Structures are given as structure tokens and as C-alpha cells.
Amino acid sequence: MVRTFVMLLLFPLCLSFPKVGFGKFSMLSYEQLRDTQPAYAEWVLETRFRKGSAGTTLKDWLRAERGRRKGGASKAPLIANVVGSSSDKPKKFGYSTWKDVWLASTGRSWPRLCAYSDCKNIPNLGGHVYMKGERQMPFIVPICKSCNLSPSRDYNKGYSAPTRHVAVALPAPTGDMVDGKGYFSKRKTRKDMQAGGAGPCRLHKGKAKRAGNKIVTREFGRLADGTPITVTTTDYVSPHDDDS
């Protein structure tokens, strides 16, 4: 009788910690997913699920939780184009484009809007950007060709705008990304600019983990050749849950 009483007492307590119930984090509780897997939680918020499914239930909970957390969310990091160009190519890491590298790194579907919050264009490629306060490390985000080729969005010209999407962290810029010498200053024609691109860089050779400025970088997986890749996530809440 004592054992039965204890079970009845504990069962209602467990109801307040529902399990995710699907995907690779199916055994985590909602709270555990929110606190330990921010990138996956953001993916859930951006994904459309079948009505009445476990995904829809979790998405509704995350949205409600976001509304209850007063002052707990930070602002989206500010980004701007990388100045310079590199000879590195995504094929070196087993993929044909930097877009493919971003998709493989994040495990997300390709978004419908450019990462720059002041742009409404469809993203065409994975562009290399800097984050404000993170000048020593470039990142890959989904951006449109127009933003990728725009000299007015260069980091060294003081431009910055909030990012809509998770950014894939890369190591420090290569030697041909010359600080202070703009990529566009070396190419006078539109044809020359279109022949170039945002500066690709080498992927991290080992596991990276940083904390600071509400940005955390961690190893997410590996490329086809076994090279570790990292993903940077933040605790900000995107205002574009349904159209990003």
C-alpha cells in the first residue's frame, strides 16, 4: 500500500515535465530541450508541423514560454559582410557550396528570408559575415546575392544589422582577408564583383566552445571527410517564427 501511494504521489509531478516525444531529443523534457538545445528549440519554432502532432504541441509550449519569460531574451547579434576574399572552397570539405555547409552544420531547412533583418529577399547562398564584438571570427549565414555583393554592408565601413538566423562559426580570417582593405576597393566593375564572393575560410580543426556576449559555439557534427564543424547559437528569440 505504501508503494502504491508513492507512485500516485509522484505521477502528477511528472506530468509537469512532458517529454519532447519526437526527433533526436525525444527523451528530453520540454524544459531540458529549452535549456540545453537552443538551436533545436529555435528550429522547432521555425518549422510547420501537422496539427495536433507532438511538434505542434512543443512549438506552442515554446512560444508560450517565451511570452512568460520577462526580460530573459537577448537581442539578435549584429552582422556585417566580411571584408576580403579567400581561395578556400567548400568542395575541400565535401560540399559544393557554402549553402550546403550551412545546411549540413545546422540540420535546418533553408530559410525564406535573407539573414539581414532589413532585407526581404530570398537567400541564395551561404555568405560570410562578422558579428559585432566577434571581429576575430567569421560566420556563415544564409544571405541574398544583393547583400553579399553590397559594399555598403561591409563590416569595416561601420554597417551592422540583426541576423534572423543561426550562424555557423568558422576560425579566424585567412591571410588574404586583409583588415581595412575592402574587397570591393580592388574590383572596380560589377562583373568583377560578381566573380568574387564573401570570403570563405577554413573550418575549425577541432571542437570549439566559447561563452561571452550571449553567444555559445559548440561542435555540431562532422563533414564528409570527418572535419569537425561548429555552430554558434544565441538565446535571442527571433521575431520571424513564421516567415524566416
Q: Give residue limits of the domains in the chain.
A: 2-68, 78-234
pLDDT given at position 122: 94
**Cβ contacts of residue 120 below 8 Å, gap of 6+?**
113, 114
pLDDT given at position 8: 27
pLDDT given at position 220: 47
Nearest to 50 by CA among 63, 41, 59: 59
pLDDT given at position 157: 82
Residue 40 CB-density burial (10 A; 0-12 exposed, 13-18 middle, 19+ buried): buried
The pTM assigned to this predicted structure is 0.47
pLDDT given at position 189: 33
pLDDT given at position 114: 94
Q: What is the CA radius of gyration of the chain?
A: 21
pLDDT given at position 3: 38
pLDDT given at position 69: 64
pLDDT given at position 224: 55
Mean pLDDT by 10 residues, the chain (244 residues): 32 49 85 82 88 84 73 69 66 79 83 91 90 74 92 86 82 50 35 35 34 44 54 40 35
Cα 243 from chain centroid?
16
Sheet holding 215-222, edge to edge: 210-212, 215-222, 228-234
